[in-house]
Structures are given as C-alpha cells and as structure tokens.
Structure 1
Amino acid sequence: MSTPLVSIISVNYNQARITCEMLASLRQITYPNMEVIVVDNASPTDNPDIIKELYPEVNLIRSTKNLGYAGGNNLGILQAKGKYLFFLNNDTEVETGFLEPLVNFFERNPQAGIASPKIKFYDSTNIIQYAGSTGINPWTGRSKTIGNHEADLGQHNNSISTNLADGAAMMIPMEVVKKVGLMPEIYFLYYEEHDWCEMIKRAGYSCHYIAESAIYHKESMSVGKMSVLKTYYMNRNRLLFIRRNLTGKQFYMSAGFFFLLALPKNSLMFGLKRQWQHLKALWSGLFWHLQPVKVHQNIAYTTTNNQ
C-alpha cells in the first residue's frame, strides 16, 4: 500500500484541552506518513501554548483574529504539504486505523473529490451520527443525514457515493482544492462544507461515504445545541446556501419554504418560550441578507494568499 503524506487540519477555539485529547488519539494511529496542523482561531480566554508543549510535533498556527471554521481551515490548507487533506473537528477522537481506508479509496478513485468516514457519537459509541447524506432537500434547503441516531448494527457497513460529506471529518485531495478553490469563508460557521461539496461536484468530482473508517464526535461541545450563535448562523447560512446553490424552481421552492413556514414557525417558538435573544439572532441573520454582499464570490487557492 502506498502511503502518501496526509495533512490533518483541525481548528481550535478556546478548547485547548479538548484539542489535546484529539491529538492524543492521533498519536495512536497506524498510518505512518502524516503531518498535523492545528489552527488556533485567536482564542481569547484559553492559552493554546499547552498544545505545543504537549505535542511539539504539531504545526500550531496562531491566527490574529477569529476566521471562523472555513477561514481557520483555509489557513491550515495554505501551510499543508500533503497529497491529501483531512479536516478533523477538534472535539473528536479517531480509531487507530481510520486513515488507511480513506487513502486507499482515493488512490484507487482519481475522480473522487471528497469523502467522510463513518461518524459515531463519542458518548454512545454504537450510535451513528453520519453514514452519508441524501443531500439538500430542494423544498426545505436542509440536509438529511443517513444513519443519524441509529444503532450501528452493520446496516451502513458498505461504502457508497453520497451527496454531502460531513465537516466534522472529511478528506480532500490537494489537487481538488487547487482546482475548485478554498472553503467558502462567507459562511463563517455552518453550511460551508455543504457548499464546498457542491463546488466540488460541479467541478466533476464525486462525494463518498467510507464505511471502513470511523471517528467519534463529541457533538456540540464547541458551540452548544441551543446557542444564540448557532441560531444566527444556521438560519443566516441556510438562506445563504439557497442563494448560492439553487436556481429556478428549486430556488423559489426553498426560499418560499423558509419565509412562509420555517421563519414564522421558529419566530413563534422562540417567542412562546421567551427566548428573546434567539428571536433577535434569527431575524438578525435574515437582515444580514439585505446588505450588499457578494454572495457568489469564492477564494482561489494560490501560494500567495496566506492570511
């Protein structure tokens, strides 16, 4: 088996201890040829020095400002040397042999553009979080994850072509990034990996779920299930994804669903629960779209666009 260099990229924000737990699991893997890049997104209350102290082999990049999920990963991409890039959430841990199935798949399939492993919940290791995706529903503008919250009884043990990778863990060949461009930073948080998948597919590449590889996700440790930040970006970026990727009938269906059903329903829910900050965040995300923003602008990969 060939062992090309894999660059593992992870973003840290105020979670150095959690990141170190992820790095500890990476030290146990069997793949022999990798570099690990951690981008600290200008953590204001947590000193990332412990990462370098405990894991001196890691390339720790310090951003001078919080660039968001996409921007942080892009900073890592620009310093990566690998043939393959593997993006890994810092609130994850991996199985020792998780990289080999992914690398083997890409080595055999040059038209593959992006792939994610099986993702399971860290606290319930037999419960699946991700085993592929049916893609974005043209009515709702939301994605449906295959296998989510199912017990892992072997029903998703076959690798398949799928519509969307999962941003918690995904591999992309460097050559694909050079062709399609960097992760779209306009999202800042949420939906950016979905948009990137659409960019990759439009360039003629395919998206895959690799069942033989597995990682474990400590979901919602980095943002929180009901955070105001999540309310803002999930709603703002849902509409942003619709604007960037859907056209014609699909655009009007998704936009209509959002404005006529999702927006009134969520507004009523937050109002009845007296969650005024969430209600404000919901509408702030909507008003963002009234600004003169170049929503279709992407970032090309070049050797000179270091941030």
Structure 2
Amino acid sequence: MEAKPYKISFITVNYNGLADTISLLESIRNARLSFAYEVIVIDNGSLKDEYSLIKHLFPDIKGYYNRMNLGFAGGNNLGLEIATGEFIYFLNNDTLLPNDADNEILAMLEVFALDSRVGGISPKIMYYHPNGMIQFAGCTPLTSITLRNKQTGYREMDKGQYDTSIEIPYLHGAAMVVPNRIIREIGVMSELFFLYYEELDWSCRINKKYKLVYFAGAHIFHKESASTGQDSPLKTFYLTRNRLLFAYRNRSGINRILAVFYLIGIANSTRLIKFVFSGMWRHVGAVCSGTWSGIKLFSKKNLS
C-alpha cells in the first residue's frame, strides 16, 4: 500500500467472525485497488483475540483487539479514531468486494467530487447467496408515526430494474461511504443504540445538511442469509428498545408523542399478544424489558 494520505479507509468490525473477516480482507486485496487505502479491523470483544490472527495473515492492516463489545457504532467509532483516509468505507465483516471494485469505488468518489452536497453513499447490496438476489437498492423514508418503510429491491432478482442512482433517506449499515470531513462536522454514530437503528439515526443527522445517495454503479456481496429465520430474544429486545429511542431522538412535538404512543400502545402490545399465544415467553420478556429500557433513555441528554 502507498504512503499516507490515504484516499480510502476501509473499516470493519469483527465479533467472533474470523473466517468472514478474512474473506473480506482477501476480497479487498484481490481487487487490486489503484488508489491509496488503509484497512482497519476492530475486534469488538470476541471471545478470544482474533485480531492477532488476522494481523498475522494481513500485516498491513491497522486496528486492535478491544476486550469489550461496544456494539456496531462503538466498534466503528474506534476505527474512526485511527482512520486517516479522505473517505471512510464502512463494511460489515460478512461482505465481499466484487472483482471490479476499483472502478466502482472510483465512480462513487466521483459523485462526491461532482456534488459537495452529497454526504454519504451506499452501493447496491447483493446477497452472496442466492446469486443475483438484491438485498438493498435504496429505501423509502420511515413514516412519521409508525416508523415503517420499504427497502427497495429487497429479495428481488436483479434484472437491471434498479440501475439508476437516486437520493435516499438512509444509508445501509452493511456498506456506506462517508467523507471524513462530513464525520468531523456531523459527529460519529451514537453509541446509545448498541445494535440496530444506529445508521438510521446517523443518516438523519447527516441528511439535515447533506444528501444521501444509493449508487447503482457499485455493489458488494453480503453473506447475510436471504431466508427468514426466527428472531432471537436479544434481537427482539434491541429492536423494541431502539425503535422507541429512534422515535424520541428523531421526531418532535406531536409526532414524537404519537410515535411513542403507537410503538408502546399498539406495535409492542400486538407483538406481546403474538408471542404470548405462541408460547414464546423469552420474547415476551424481551418486549417488556426493551420497552422499559427505551423509556428510561428518554431524556434531554439523549436528544443529540
């Protein structure tokens, strides 16, 4: 790799995902990128120090083993502390760059060069399996009260129907490119969420001043399964809690009151009834504890 200043800082967070992280780094290396870049790996509280094993295989990477799991935002924020690139490319550790990543990344950087109002880009995200299935090709805004939206292209086969770049309300956390200057101005992702909604919350902050773009001319592969599996109680807890926290932080006035009322009185109550009748008692507890935990975070200090 070339000497600093780097054009791109790739940041990925590893959590007991050694094999996936190695595959990602191999895809970056195999892409033979023409610009100066650095790769930062934060091992975010894995059961054992996997960073040392990764560093042995890829001596040029930067990063370290952090003994405590700080969540998605916390892990990425640790990477930002040592990143020196003009642009930051956040990638989930279970993603892969395509063979033509060099041209595609340069094309994304050209978007920033042509329009200084662009504050972040997410590429098209394809499922690694099945081949040709889209996970993300943009999204619609969350509704003001129910916080529902649609992820464009989700689980559709790619037939070129989303090959036009568009402005979007939110970046996708699995793959997002953000100029370092924007991060210095807006600030880093909030670590209040720990898991889920942190990139949506961050996108809202960026979008107050800058545009966000789905760029159809670039893509990555995501190993996340396209099959629908049963949610874990941990996922139920954080989704329940963080929807409330997101509503509190990103809605105001009557919309905030109505959104919180809807989430607690209708959405969470409906889920409770569903879990009770299904005998999923751990999920019942997760909804209750997630709701209470979210309410406890309602304070002025958590508004920014």
Please give the TM-score of this superposition, normalised by the length of structure 1: 0.90
Question: Per the alignment, do residues 241 and 248 of structure 1 end up closer, same or farther by CA in structure 2, a change over 3 Å counting?
Answer: same
Is the counterpart of residue 22 in structure 1 residue 24 in structure 2? yes
Runs of 4+ in structure 1 deviating by more than 3 angstroms, as ranges, are 45-48, 292-299
| Cα offset, 1:261, TM superposition | 2.2
Most deviating of 143-152 and 233-242:
143-152
Residue of structure 1 in register with 2:158 after alignment: 152
For residue 133 of structure 2, the aligned residue among 119, 127, 130 is: 127
| Cα offset, 1:144, TM superposition | 1.9
| Cα offset, 1:230, TM superposition | 0.9
For residue 41 of structure 2, the aligned residue among 34, 38, 43 is: 38
| Cα offset, 1:249, TM superposition | 3.5
Structure 1 segments unaligned to the other structure (5+ residues): 300-307
**Tell me, what secondary structure is at the counterpart of 1:213?**
strand
Is the counterpart of residue 176 in structure 1 residue 179 in structure 2? no
Name the CA distance, whole Å, in 1 between partners of 2:76 and 2:176.
12
| Cα offset, 1:255, TM superposition | 2.1
**Tell me, what secondary structure is at the counterpart of 1:135?**
coil
**Tell me, what secondary structure is at the counterpart of 1:78?**
helix
| Cα offset, 1:177, TM superposition | 0.4
Is the CA contact 1:116–1:165 (under 8 Å) kept in the aligned structure 2?
Answer: yes
Structure 2 segments unaligned to the other structure (5+ residues): none
Is the CA contact 1:182–1:298 (under 8 Å) kept in the aligned structure 2?
Answer: no
Residue of structure 1 in register with 2:59 after alignment: 56
Name the CA distance, whole Å, in 2 between partners of 1:49 and 1:191.
30
Question: Per the alignment, do residues 296 and 136 of structure 1 end up closer, same or farther by CA in structure 2, a change over 3 Å counting?
Answer: farther
Please give the TM-score of this superposition, normalised by the length of structure 2: 0.91
For residue 218 of structure 1, the aligned residue among 220, 223, 226 is: 223
Is the counterpart of residue 252 in structure 1 residue 257 in structure 2? yes
Residue of structure 1 in register with 2:211 after alignment: 206
Name the CA distance, whole Å, in 2 between partners of 1:108 and 1:8.
22
**Percent same amino acid among aligned pairs?**
37
Residue of structure 2 in register with 1:268 after alignment: 273
| Cα offset, 1:295, TM superposition | 6.1
Note the aligned Cα RMSD (angstroms): 2.0
Residue of structure 2 in register with 1:305 after alignment: none
Q: How does 1:41-190 map to 2 (within 5 A)?
A: 41-45=44-48, 47-96=50-99, 97=101, 98-190=104-196
Name the CA distance, whole Å, in 2 between partners of 1:75 and 1:85.
13
Is the CA contact 2:43–2:50 (under 8 Å) kept in the aligned structure 1?
Answer: no
Most deviating of 50-59 and 192-201:
50-59
Is the CA contact 1:36–1:58 (under 8 Å) kept in the aligned structure 2?
Answer: yes
Residue of structure 2 in register with 1:7 after alignment: 9
Question: Per the alignment, do residues 218 and 225 of structure 1 end up closer, same or farther by CA in structure 2, a change over 3 Å counting?
Answer: farther
| Cα offset, 1:45, TM superposition | 4.7
**Tell me, what secondary structure is at the counterpart of 2:50?**
coil
Aligned length: 294
Name the CA distance, whole Å, in 1 between partners of 2:199 and 2:288.
24
Residue of structure 2 in register with 1:303 after alignment: none
**Tell me, what secondary structure is at the counterpart of 1:100?**
helix
Which letter maps to 1:19?
T
Structure with the larger helix share: 2
